Amino acid sequence: MKSIFLLMMALIFLTGCSPKDTPVSDGIFWIVTEISTSDGMNYQAETALEALQEKYPDVTFKLEILPTESAERDNYIQKLRTQMLAGEGPDVYLLPTGDTITTDANRKTHTDQVTIEPLFSDIALAMRTGVFTDIQSYYENDAELNTAGLRQEVMDAGMVGNARYVLPLRYNMPILLVNRNADTIKNMEQNGISLKCAAAELVEYALATDDTKLAVGLQLPKDTSAFPELFDYDEGTLLVTQEEIADYMSLYQNWYAASHSTETEILNHLEEIIRAHYDEQFHYSFPDSLEELGITITRDSLNSVDRYQSSGFAHWTVQQLPAFSTSLNGLLESAILEQAMEQEWDEIPVLRLDGSVGAEVTYLGAVGANCENVDMAYEYLRLFLTEEYQWDGVRPRTDRTHDNQFSVSPELQNYGLVENSWPVRDKNAIPHLFDTFLYRHSGYIGRTPKEEGKRRAQVKGVEAITEENAVVLQTSIDEVRFPIYMNEEDTLAYALAQLNDENGNPTDVDLEKLAEEVYQKLKWHLAEG
């Protein structure tokens, strides 16, 4: 009797394991991805899957979205990694890089950022460890894909030697918007100082001339993206020195001290203006903070069509910044604002510390090393490189031209580019991306009919943007990398955060010791990969 009871208990415990807690395998074509905005990569992934399902009706497909809640994700990823090492991993990976995911917010016009630990901490290491399948033979024989239209430097980032393990799908590059009419810029040109130098040199110039506005406009990244190539993965060596890290940290500390209070003042002033603007529109009690309306004022607000149109003051040139650091993500906004403000700015790439042009892959696709049907996996992934998928052809739309305060079509699109980054098929991309931008604004629902009419008239009056508006896209990229992930306390960002207090003043922390720790952590990252 006792043994029967024990046996029953054992069976109950064994069968009680929830299938939801276990990653998928067992003959199913398995695709793993991360959550995205509802009109972004998840929508593309589902659309592509439907196309594949139609072609292969007898195959069971499973699109698995990794959880984002910390404890659940840790547990799930642990199991997934074990499965991968045991030879039962996913067939296809469709993943963003970095540790930040963009998802829908409560209000569709805004998005939220979620911080996660990515499945692969370093894609470049993962390629060399052999967790992906080489698909070069598929790619080079794919005549229909028109690979000539893809940014070659970015696509080459997915190769190790002659093997192609990863298909980069989207990328981003830091750029500097320059107002040539600004006095600072004119002075620099007169003094023979080139703007086409490393961001660090520009910052040093700003600090030397005590030009806080220039310092605010420039940005030193908190991660290692300012450094030239960090690792020689094939030799297993770290290419940056501890002294270089310490020098950068020192520059960052001084830059932050010079720019932080001015930047905070600008953003606070902007918030007051926007709040006053909304107060004028409403005649009833107003929430205490703009955040309750889902409006957050950040640095990006200084290069935003919406913010400029709603306040008239939210722009970096109005705030008298001679230059403004952004990325390809903000290129369209800038091009449209040029028209609206009847100005012209230069867009130049932000150079790394050694003067090279760098970019980062922001979204990728790869075939798992355990995939048994590589043909099908490639057939799925190649869809994301086609014009339709790259140029927002798959992004959902409704006819919003007749929307008004009383009749509103469902909001199907989030603001901005998919994954806040640029398509890797960037030749001739701009007209299509601009078309999305117009669609977004064509259904603008203002606080008053007058405001709506004004916005729509502005949108209709905007000239189409072409490749000529984005000369920066013609720049050759010297190095394209995948962002690396490390535990928060091991990162350069964590070390940089200790250099200044909340008012921006330098602290007395031991900078050399911090640099040594960062250096050691980078060495370990490479050694353990």
Partner 1 sequence: MKHTTLSRRNAWNGVFMILPLLLGCMVFYTAPFIIVLRNALFKGIGNSEQFVGLENFREMMSNDGFRLAFGNTMKFLVISLPLILVISFGIALVLKEEARKHETLKSVLLLPYILPVAATVLLVEWLFAETGVLNHCLNVIGLPIADWLDSGQAFWVVVGLYLWKNTGYAVILLLSGLVTIPEDHYDVSGLDGATFWQQLHYITIPQMWYSVFFTVVFSLINAFKCFREIFLIGGTHPHSSIYMLQHFLNNTFENLSYPKMAVVSVVLALILTTVFALSYYWVMKKEAYKA
Stretch that binds partner 1, among 54-62, 85-93, 207-215, 251-259 (CB under 8 A): 85-93
**Is 121 an interacting residue with respect to partner 1 (CB under 8 A)?**
yes
Pattern 448-467, partner 1, x by CB under 8 A: --------------------
Q: In angstroms, rounded to a whole number, what is the distance separating the alpha carbons of residues 106 and 304? A: 20
Least separation in angstroms between CB 237 and partner 1: 9
Among 125, 266, 328, 337, binds partner 1 (CB under 8 A): 125
DSSP track, 100-132: EEEEE-SSTT-EEEEE---S-S-HHHHHHHT-B
With contact defined as beta carbons under 8 Å apart, do 206 and 420 qualify? no
Q: In angstroms, rounded to a whole number, what is the distance separating the alpha carbons of residues 92 and 30? A: 7
Least separation in angstroms between CB 508 and partner 1: 15
Pattern 229-268, partner 1, x by CB under 8 A: -------x--------------------------------
Q: In angstroms, rounded to a whole number, what is the distance separating the alpha carbons of residues 380 and 129? A: 24
Stretch that binds partner 1, among 43-51, 323-331, 445-453, 518-526 (CB under 8 A): 518-526
Nearest alpha-carbon partner for 363 in 77, 101, 74: 101
Nearest alpha-carbon partner for 21 in 83, 76, 98: 76
Among 7, 130, 186, 287, binds partner 1 (CB under 8 A): 130
With contact defined as beta carbons under 8 Å apart, do 356 and 160 qualify? no
Stretch that binds partner 1, among 209-217, 243-251, 279-287, 363-371 (CB under 8 A): 363-371
**Is 84 an interacting residue with respect to partner 1 (CB under 8 A)?**
yes
Among 210, 489, 502, 508, binds partner 1 (CB under 8 A): 489
Q: In angstroms, rounded to a whole number, what is the distance separating the alpha carbons of residues 273 and 263? A: 15
**Is 368 an interacting residue with respect to partner 1 (CB under 8 A)?**
yes
With contact defined as beta carbons under 8 Å apart, do 309 and 340 qualify? yes
> Cα 73–89–490 angle (5° rounding)?
45
Stretch that binds partner 1, among 60-68, 114-122, 184-192, 273-281 (CB under 8 A): 114-122
Stretch that binds partner 1, among 17-25, 176-184, 336-344, 519-527 (CB under 8 A): 519-527
Count, residues in the chain: 529
Among 129, 194, 289, 507, binds partner 1 (CB under 8 A): 129
Chain Cα centroid distance, residue 456: 29
Least separation in angstroms between CB 246 and partner 1: 18
Q: In angstroms, rounded to a whole number, what is the distance separating the alpha carbons of residues 56 and 59? A: 6
- Give the chain's count of helices (H) and strands (E): 18, 16
Q: Which residues bind partner 1 (CB under 8 A)?
A: 81, 84-85, 87, 89, 120-122, 125-126, 129-134, 236, 368-371, 374, 487, 489-490, 520-521, 523-524, 526-529
